Amino acid sequence: MKYAKNILETIGNTPLVQLNKVTAEVDALVLAKVETFNPGNSVKDRMAVKMIEDAEADGRLKPGGTIIEGTSGNTGMGLALAAIVKGYKCIFVISDKQSKEKSDILRAVGAKVIVCPTDVEPTDPRSYYSVSKKLGEEIPNSWYVNQYDNPSNATAHYEQTGPEIWEQTEGKITHFVVGVGTGGTISGVAKYLKEKNPNIKIWGIDTYGSVFKKYHETGIFDENEIYSYITEGIGEDILPKNVDFSLIDGFTKVTDKDAAVYTRKIALEEGIFVGNSAGAAVKGLLQLKEHFGPEDVVVVLFHDSGSRYVGKMFNDDWMRERGFLEEEITKAEDLIK
């Protein structure tokens, strides 16, 4: 009989799917690594389990302990699934820009959720970085995960995601395109792929309001670059230790509007229902199209599920309020509608 002994054994081995309509203007084979097939519906399941296993092994996480993390939702889901199977409690701190679906889902899998304001400095005691760190210091028998600086994050992708992509493309991959948040996915996958073939190009997708692109190009951490943005899961106002800039060939920035519009396009044109960072990744890939040729194999990673964004990018009213919906207004009647 073939079966998994628990839900964690179903993580990984996600499919590569050719993109056709949404990338029609790209003269290369474009393949999406669709991470929604993981049980928690995101790429973060991989590193969540790895971080827990490594913390168990060296005694940072003890039996019956409480897992504490600042998360935009997906890492929390992966940690919660592992906590259920392994018998831990969870407290997650998220920012108020995250979709309601994300906090509802975390509560549904037994986590306590604390919501913090987005528009504060990372060092502000109200920020989700500060609150999660403080809880980790105050709560007995707890472990603060810190996915941004925890090396197990990148290691998970070096051990799993990178090898899967290499095997699935039979080593023919020429470019890897992925949104950058904590940096674990891009750095882990890049390290593995470049060890196999140093000519593979690694492109990071950044957003306006984030510091990555300028820092990569100039070495300057420019606080004037930082402002609030809508796109979820990518970009940062800090430099996580997991972002290894030496492995990244370049960044391109995608606007909030383009990310939202392309998130919907992927669903409508490819039948792949994925999240906001996938829209940013596809638009970024189109912005980079002059870097690709007909013999190239471009792999783009789709982080999470569209179900996390039903009240946002997939909601016409939400899109309209932000001016993201392209609507033809020809008569007064249309304007009133």
Q: Report the catalytic residues.
A: 44
- Relative to beta strand 142-144, strand 175-179 is unpaired
| Secondary structure of residue 167 in the 3-state scheme | helix
Q: Among 229, 224, 200, which Cα is nearest to 292's?
A: 200
Within 13 A of 126's CA, how many CA atoms are on the CB side? 9
Give the total residue count for the chain: 337
Q: In the beta sheet, which residues pair with residue 89?
A: 66
How many angstroms separate the CA atoms of 227 and 208, rounded?
Answer: 8
If 0-12 CB within 10 Å is exposed, 13-18 middle and 19+ buried, where does residue 172 land? middle
Sheet of 66-70, strands arranged across: 112-116, 89-95, 66-70, 142-144
* Token digits of residue 34: 């669709």
Q: Are 194 and 187 in contact (CB under 8 A)?
A: no
Q: Are 34 and 302 in contact (CB under 8 A)?
A: yes
Q: Among 143, 195, 154, which Cα is nearest to 178's?
A: 154
Within 13 A of 197's CA, how many CA atoms are on the CB side? 17
* Token digits of residue 109: 């899998």
Beta-carbon contacts of 315 under 8 Å, excluding residues fewer than 6 positions away, are: none
Kind and range of the H or E run holding 306? none
How many angstroms separate the CA atoms of 38 and 78, rounded?
Answer: 9
Q: Among 93, 104, 39, which Cα is nearest to 70's?
A: 93
